């Protein structure tokens, strides 16, 4: 096969593996927006928190981050639910600006809280599969990326099951559609909001756990995902969970492909410009989401 | 109008008195300069963010363009920043138009996201092209004490420049706030549909507001570059320490008010500098943690900001931050 | 005489819901028409479409012969047509008078705008409330303020959406007298949505009836109140037609 074509296919494959994780991180953001109509600017910080949780579990107990990510989810859920009840609820009915600045403030608190607690060191884990790669015909599949991808899909699938099959999922969807009507049919929408916010932050934290084997965590680890996370949800349509996953895959592939043709910093530029173009032409996302 | 003028003149009088009393090369003088520069930055943002509730999280883009324009022109062509600043303003207005194209119809959080991405794009570009000096940053060429090149050997030398900048930005804000444009900006803030049905072209008014706000931010950027001598893309286009900070100072002080950004700047700069100098043993992260908490506390409990704590003749209108969302 | 306002085949849908279909009517200069129909018939949607807040899927809107379909609301307003908001949409943090100043500053100086605003407020009988905060106004006062703000745009066509809903009979009489006076002195045309049948039948020389998004009748009050289609549309409604 032509080397260019191989290189291209390899980049697509790498991008898909990367993008699955973007998807699961962004699903949390989109779930929160879809249910509470709040854009959480602090969302990426929960990914950072999930990474720390997984790191400490690995460091203290030797638990593999892919398993530790389950605990990351639990921690993200608990913290998110507490944040919803104490900070988000009071501004639910306020102007969008109040919500923006509340979550921006939260972002500053979480990032710098981590800096205070853990210092600015970069921490990473050692796993037996760190440098393993599988051959797929002429292509290579890096094991940590593959495992993270599979774990992300499993996580997203599980969330989908909960949303579609469980009582809680039905309550969340009913509340997202029409809070008043949900309230009237006996759903405690306050509790639903808390749960939805918790699941949302939990999913982002879970994503943090599964990427730890191929990345490292520091207090600013979340910051680097902020714009990409928003790109992904806007690509898929804010509030659209399946869209977030598709958007994640698309963003991963675009980023990886632009790496073939442009220097590394320009990869992000491609994403930002794409983001702006998208807002211009399809403000409700490629797949259509909840209306702004 | 009279009250506005009194406020600006009082602030300038304090500035002048402190300028005469303080050691021109001293630390206190530096703080004084930073307070008024920060206030001018926040007030530039306040024109759109406060009066019209068009929340930008990307004003660092305009600020950085102003800083780079004057500095690069001086490095490459020996041009004085007094001239470069005009070019910076023109470029920032052009950038604002470019940004307005996709964003002017966006509302609320979409605008915040788009402006955030725009400033990030500027940061990436500045990091990857040569003329900006790339990630290594850029220095203002050393000229010694040279008023013609807007460069002074001591902080005190900058005080008149910063005072003039403060007077310009605050004066313009007061004028706009009471002008026809001010009425239209506020109408858009409160209800865009009703503003349109009053004949206001939301698109044109927003573009005009963004252009003014961007030009003033660029001007602040030029002065900031001269004051700091050195900057790099990550610091000048920083989402947190520039974009969010401009907004945060205005909010903590009092959104959409004339005096708010000055009070916010006093509190913020004094807080930051005290933590830095007095408690240098404190680990990094404490100050931004406090600032973030202050922002959250303001949004939750004092949406009208510091001005609502001060005795105000005639009373201050409640901050619009806590208003109920409409048509949600 | 060319018609001042002409709506042709207007169609609007929200998702799957057909809110308007095939709505066609014209309005002459100085005409006062009533628009009635059961709740959810599409009256507010029709107004919003006429002033450009809602973009129609089909059809055209012409004002003074000019095609205004798809134009920005502010352009339509400046061409001479505006509407009031059924649930009122005033600029909350401004004192009442400043609300009415906004339309004026679009065209002229602040001083002129203030003068015009004071004049418009006086017309609806709110001159004594000029410095009041919007939050302190009663609902009827807000509805009157909506009229004053709309008047300040110097309209040729004014679309009033249930402005009399909460008024006392005396206040209603005053508004009706004011509408007649505005038509007589400034030649303004009106389309008026109102559930109060007696008021609307007395004031309007022409009635349009909307039901499930379709115009089912267009004629004098007497004709319309005899129309079997109209009667069946209102069957089971609590509004009697007399
Ligand atoms: N923005 C919207 N999105 C979705 N549906 C809408 C929207 N606006 C109106 N509708 C629907 O369109 C239909 C017509 O509504 P509209 O408000 O025009 O009725 P109306 O005749 O003014 O009623 P009322 O007498 O209660 O004021 C209703 O079924 C309403 O639920
Ligand atoms: Mg209606």
ipTM of the complex as predicted: 0.92
Facing C149 at nearest CB: one of B183, B198, B326: B198
- Whether B174 maps to a domain, the answer reads yes
Residue A290 domain-assigned (yes or no):
no
Counting beta carbons within 10 angstroms of the beta carbon of residue C72, is it exposed (0 to 12), middle (13 to 18) or buried (19 or more)? middle
Could you read off the pLDDT of A167-193 as tens digits, one per residue?
999 999 999 888 889 989 889 999 999
Does residue A260 register a pLDDT over 90?
no
In a domain, A288, yes or no: no
pLDDT averaged over chain A?
Answer: 90
Residues of chain A numbered 22-41 and touching chain B (CB < 8 Å): 37, 39, 41
| H-helix or E-strand spanning residue C61 | strand C58-63
Of C70, C21, C66, which is closest to residue C42 (Cα–Cα)?
C21
- Asked if the Cβ–Cβ distance from B183 to C101 is below 8 Å, we say yes
State yes or no: pLDDT of A291 exceeds 50: no
Residue pointed to by tokens 């004028």: B175
Q: A141 has which bridge partners?
A: A134
Q: Which residues of B touch C91 (CB under 8 A)?
A: 186-187, 190-191, 194-195
Residues of B (45-104) whose Cβ lies below 8 Å from A: 49, 53, 55, 57, 99, 101-103
- Is B324 part of any domain? no
Residues near A284 by beta carbon (within 8 Å), at least 6 away in sequence: A237, A238, A291, A292
> What is the residue range of A185's domain?
3-281
Please state which of the ranges A243-252, B101-110, B195-204, C4-13 shows the lowest mean pLDDT.
Answer: B101-110
Asked whether the beta carbons of C208 and C230 are under 8 A apart, the reply is no
C39-42: list long-range contacts, CB under 8 Å, 24+ apart.
C41/C210, C41/C211, C41/C212, C41/C213, C42/C12, C42/C210, C42/C212, C42/C213
Please count the residue pairs, one from chain B and one from chain C, whose beta carbons lie less than 8 angstroms apart: 85
CA of A282 to the centre of ligand 1 (A): 26
pLDDT in tens, A199-239: 999 999 999 999 999 999 999 999 888 888 888 888 887 77
Closest-approach residue (CA) in chain B for A33: B109
Residues of chain A contacting B292 with CB distance shorter than 8 Å: 105-109, 112
> Is residue C55 in contact with ligand 1, taking CB distance under 6 Å?
no
* pLDDT over 90 at A3, yes or no: no
What's chain B's length in residues?
Answer: 328
Query: How many structural domains comprise chain A?
Result: 1
B37-73 confidence digits (pLDDT tens): 999 999 999 999 999 999 999 999 999 999 999 999 9
Q: Is A183 inside any structural domain?
A: yes
Is C51–B197 a contact, with Cβ atoms under 8 angstroms apart? yes
Give the pLDDT of residue B327.
41
Average of per-residue pLDDT values in chain B: 91
Phi, psi dihedrals of residue C138, rounded to the nearest 5° = -80, 165
DSSP β-bridge partners for residue C33: C191, C206
Number of domains in chain B: 1
B83 domain residue, yes or no? yes
Residues from chain B contacting residue A235 (CB–CB below 8 Å): none
In the structure, ligand 2 is a single-atom ion and the residues with CB under 5 Å from it are C 43-44, 86
The answer to whether position A289 is within a domain reads no
Give residue A283's pLDDT.
Answer: 64
Q: Name the residue in chain B with its Cα closest to that of A107.
A: B292
User: For residue B226, what are the CA distances in angstroms to B139, B145, B151, B161, B295?
Assistant: 9, 12, 6, 10, 29
Q: Is residue B282 part of a domain?
A: no
Rounded to 10°, the helix A96-118/B245-253 angle is 110
Nearest ligand to the C-alpha of residue C37? 1
Segments forming the whole domain that contains residue B94: 2-235
Q: Is any ligand 1 atom within 6 A of the Cβ of residue C38?
A: no
The CATH number linked to A84 is 1.10.3470
**Residue from B51, B327, B189, B244 nearest A102 by CA:** B244
**Which residue in chain B has the smallest CA separation from C52?**
B197
Ligand in nearest proximity to the CA of C36: 1
- Residue A273 domain-assigned (yes or no): yes
Q: What is the pLDDT of residue C242?
A: 47
Is the pLDDT at C227 greater than 90? The verdict is no
Cβ(C45) – ligand 1 distance below 6 Å: yes
The answer to whether the CB of C44 is under 6 A from ligand 1 is yes
pLDDT tens digits, A59-105:
999 999 999 999 999 999 999 999 999 999 999 988 888 999 999 99
C113 touches chain B (CB under 8 A): yes
Is the pLDDT score of B9 beyond 80?
A: yes
Burial B248-262 (b: 16+ CB within 10 A, else e): bbbbbbbbbbbbbbb
Q: Report yes or no on chains C and A touching (3+ CB pairs under 8 A).
A: no
Gap between the Cα atoms of B193 and C53, Å rounded? 7
Cβ pair C47, C193 in contact under 8 A: yes
Q: What is the pLDDT of residue A237?
A: 79
| Ligand 1 atom at minimum distance from C48 CA | 18
Confidence bin at B248 (pLDDT 50/70/90):
very high
Q: Is B179 in a helix, a strand, or coil?
A: coil
The alpha carbon of C183 and the centre of ligand 2 are apart by a number of angstroms equal to 24
Contact C160, C191 (CB under 8 A): yes
* Runs of H (alpha helix) within chain B: 2-21, 27-46, 60-77, 81-103, 109-128, 155-177, 180-190, 192-196, 202-228, 233-236, 245-253, 260-277, 286-301
- Given a contact cutoff of 8 angstroms between Cβ atoms, the answer to whether B124 and B118 are in contact is no
Which residue has 């050997």 as its token pair? B153
Q: Counting ligands in written order, which one lies closest to the CA of residue C35? A: 1
Residue A11, H or E segment: helix A3-36
Q: Which residues pair with C8 in a beta bridge?
A: C60
pLDDT recorded at residue B276: 80
The answer to whether C4 and C28 are in contact (CB under 8 A) is yes
Give the chain A residue whose CA is nearest to the CA of B320: A95
Would you state the structure tokens that stand for residue B17, as one six-digit string? Answer: 């008195």
Distances (CA, A) of A122 to A148, A216, B286: 20, 6, 19
Q: What is the pLDDT of residues C174-215, one digit of tens each?
A: 899 999 999 999 999 999 999 888 888 889 999 999 999 999
pLDDT at residue C143 greater than cutoff 50: yes
The Cβ of residue B81 has, within 10 Å, a number of other Cβ atoms equal to: 26
Under DSSP, the state recorded for C95 is B
Q: Which ligand is nearest to the CA of C46?
A: 1
The answer to whether B178 contacts chain A (CB < 8 Å) is no
Q: Is residue B46 part of a domain?
A: yes
Average pLDDT, chain C: 91
Query: In Å, how far is C35's CA from the nearest CA of chain B?
Result: 20
Strand order across the C17-27 sheet = C17-27, C5-14, C58-63, C66-67
Say if A292 is an interface residue toward chain B (CB within 8 Å).
yes
Q: Give Cα separations from B15 to A52, B38, C109 (angstroms).
A: 47, 14, 35
Quick one: which H or E segment has residue A256? helix A241-261
Structure tokens at A107: 């972002």
**Ligand 1: centre distance to CA C42 (Å):** 5
pLDDT of residue A130: 86
How far is the C-alpha of A209 from the C-alpha of A193, rounded, in Å?
A: 24
Phi, psi of C208 (to 5 degrees): -105, 140
CB of C4 less than 8 A from some CB of B: no
Note whether C94 contacts B186, CB cutoff 8 Å: yes
Residues of chain B found within 8 Å of residue C98, distances taken between Cβ atoms: 183
Phi and psi angles of residue C131, each rounded to the nearest 5 degrees, phi first: -90, 0
Cα–Cα distance between C204 and C169 in angstroms, integer? 17
Q: Which residue has the tokens 């994780």?
A: A21
* B57 contacts A108? CB cut-off 8 A: no
Measured by CA distance, the residue closest to atom 28 of ligand 1 is C40
What is the C-alpha to C-alpha distance for residues A76 and A203, in angstroms, rounded to an integer?
A: 8
Give the C-alpha separation, C117 to C208, whole Å.
32
Query: What DSSP designation does C165 have?
Result: T
Pairwise CA distance, residues C165 & C172, whole Å: 9
Within-domain flag for B312: no
CA distances (Å), origin B65, targets B78, B98, B233, C235: 18, 13, 10, 67
Mind giving me the DSSP string for C169-190?
HHHHHHHHHHHHHHHHHH--EE
- When pLDDT is cut at 50, 70 and 90, the band that residue B282 belongs to is confident
How far out from the chain centre does Cα A278 lie? 20
Of B304, B295, B302, B162, the closest CA to residue B240 belongs to B295
- Structural domain includes residue A210: yes
- Residue among A230, A113, A241, A234 at smallest CA distance from A173: A241
Q: Is the pTM of this model over 0.90?
A: yes
Note the pLDDT of residue A285: 60
Among the listed residues B327, B188, C5, B320, the one whose alpha carbon sits nearest the alpha carbon of residue A101? B320
* Contact by Cβ (8 Å): B74, B80: yes
pLDDT-derived band at A292 (thresholds 50, 70, 90) equals very low
Does ligand 1 lie within 6 Å of residue C16's CB atom?
no
Reading the block at residue A31, the tokens are: 């779930």
Q: Where are the alpha helices (DSSP H) in B23-59?
A: 27-46
Q: Hey, which of C11, C21, C43 would you mutate to test ligand 1's pocket, going by the most ligand atoms within 8 Å of its Cβ?
A: C43
- Residue C80 tokens read as 């001479």
Cβ separation of B114 and A279 shorter than 8 Å?
A: yes
């Amino acid at each position: 096969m032509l080397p260019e074509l191989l290189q291209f296919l390899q980049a697509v494959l790498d991008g898909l593996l990367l993008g699955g994780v973007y998807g699961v991180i962004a699903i949390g953001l989109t779930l929160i927006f879809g249910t509470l109509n709040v854009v959480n600017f602090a969302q990426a910080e929960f990914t950072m928190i999930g990474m720390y949780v997984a790191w400490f579990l690995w460091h203290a107990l030797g638990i593999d981050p892919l398993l530790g990510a389950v605990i990351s989810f639990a921690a993200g859920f608990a913290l998110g639910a507490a944040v919803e009840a104490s900070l988000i609820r009071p501004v639910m009915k306020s102007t969008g600006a109040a919500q923006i600045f509340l979550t921006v403030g939260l972002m500053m608190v979480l990032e710098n809280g981590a800096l205070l607690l853990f210092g600015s060191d970069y921490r990473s884990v050692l796993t037996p599969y760190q440098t393993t790669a599988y051959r797929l015909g002429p292509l290579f599949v890096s094991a940590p990326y593959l495992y993270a991808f599979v774990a992300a899909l499993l996580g997203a699938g599980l969330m989908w099951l909960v949303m579609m099959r469980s009582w809680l999922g039905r309550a969340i969807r009913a509340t997202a559609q029409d809070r008043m009507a949900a309230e009237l049919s006996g759903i405690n929408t306050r509790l639903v909001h808390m749960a939805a916010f918790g699941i949302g932050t939990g999913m982002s934290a879970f994503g943090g756990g599964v990427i730890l084997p191929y990345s490292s965590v520091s207090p600013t680890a979340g910051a680097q995902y902020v714009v990409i996370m928003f790109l992904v949800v806007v690509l898929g349509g804010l509030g659209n969970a399946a869209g977030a996953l598709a958007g994640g895959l698309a963003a991963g592939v675009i980023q990886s492909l632009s790496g073939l043709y442009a220097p590394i910093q320009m990869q992000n530029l491609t994403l930002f410009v794409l983001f702006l173009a998208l807002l211009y032409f399809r403000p409700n996302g490629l797949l259509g989401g909840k209306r702004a | 109008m009279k009250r506005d003028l009194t406020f600006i003149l009082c602030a300038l009088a304090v500035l002048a008195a402190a300028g005469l009393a303080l050691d021109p090369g001293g630390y206190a003088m530096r703080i004084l300069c930073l307070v008024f520069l920060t206030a001018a930055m926040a007030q530039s943002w306040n024109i759109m963010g406060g009066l019209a509730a068009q929340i930008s999280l990307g004003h660092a883009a305009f600020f950085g363009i102003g800083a780079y324009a004057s500095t690069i022109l001086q490095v490459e062509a020996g041009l004085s920043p007094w001239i470069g600043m005009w070019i910076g303003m023109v470029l920032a207005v052009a950038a604002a138009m470019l940004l307005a194209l996709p964003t002017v119809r966006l509302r609320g959080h979409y605008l915040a996201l788009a402006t955030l991405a725009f400033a990030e794009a500027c940061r990436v570009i500045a990091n990857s092209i040569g003329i900006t000096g790339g990630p290594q940053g850029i220095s203002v060429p050393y000229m010694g004490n040279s008023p013609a090149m807007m460069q002074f050997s001591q902080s005190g030398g900058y005080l008149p420049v910063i005072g003039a900048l403060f007077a310009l930005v605050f004066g313009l804000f007061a004028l706009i706030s009471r002008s026809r444009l001010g009425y239209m900006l506020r109408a858009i803030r409160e209800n865009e549909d009703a503003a349109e049905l009053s004949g206001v072209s939301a698109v044109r008014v927003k573009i005009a507001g963004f252009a003014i706000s961007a030009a003033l931010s660029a001007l602040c950027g030029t002065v900031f570059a001269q004051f700091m001598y050195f900057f790099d893309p990550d610091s000048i286009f920083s989402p947190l320490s520039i974009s969010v900070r401009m907004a945060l100072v205005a909010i903590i002080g009092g959104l959409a008010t004339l005096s708010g950004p000055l009070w916010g700047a006093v509190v913020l700069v004094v807080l930051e500098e005290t933590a830095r100098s007095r408690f240098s043993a404190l680990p990094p992260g404490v100050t931004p943690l406090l600032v973030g908490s202050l922002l959250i506390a303001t949004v939750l409990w004092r949406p009208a900001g510091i001005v609502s704590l001060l005795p105000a003749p005639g009373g201050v209108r409640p901050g619009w931050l806590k208003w109920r969302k409409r048509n949600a | 005489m060319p018609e001042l306002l002409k709506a042709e085949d207007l169609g609007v849908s929200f998702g799957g819901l057909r809110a308007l279909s095939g709505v066609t009517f014209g309005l002459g200069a100085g005409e006062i028409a009533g628009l009635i129909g059961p709740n959810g018939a599409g009256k507010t949607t029709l107004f919003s479409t006429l002033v450009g807040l809602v973009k129609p899927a089909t059809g055209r809107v012409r004002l003074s012969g000019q095609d205004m379909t798809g134009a920005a609301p502010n352009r339509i307003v400046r061409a001479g047509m505006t509407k009031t908001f059924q649930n009122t949409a005033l600029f909350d943090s401004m004192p009442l008078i400043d609300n009415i100043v906004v339309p004026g500053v679009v065209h002229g100086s602040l001083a002129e705008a203030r003068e015009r605003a004071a004049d418009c407020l006086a017309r609806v009988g709110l001159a004594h409330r000029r410095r009041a905060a919007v939050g302190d106004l009663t609902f009827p006062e807000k509805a009157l303020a909506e009229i004053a703000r709309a008047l300040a745009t110097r309209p040729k066509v004014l679309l009033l959406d249930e402005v009399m809903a909460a008024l006392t009979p005396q206040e209603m009489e005053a508004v009706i007298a004011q509408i007649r006076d505005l038509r007589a002195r400034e030649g303004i045309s009106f389309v008026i949505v109102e559930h109060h049948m007696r008021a609307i039948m007395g004031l309007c020389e022409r009635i349009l009836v909307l039901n499930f998004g379709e115009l089912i009748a267009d004629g004098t009050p007497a004709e319309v109140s005899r129309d079997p289609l109209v009667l069946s549309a209102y069957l089971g409604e609590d509004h009697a037609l007399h």
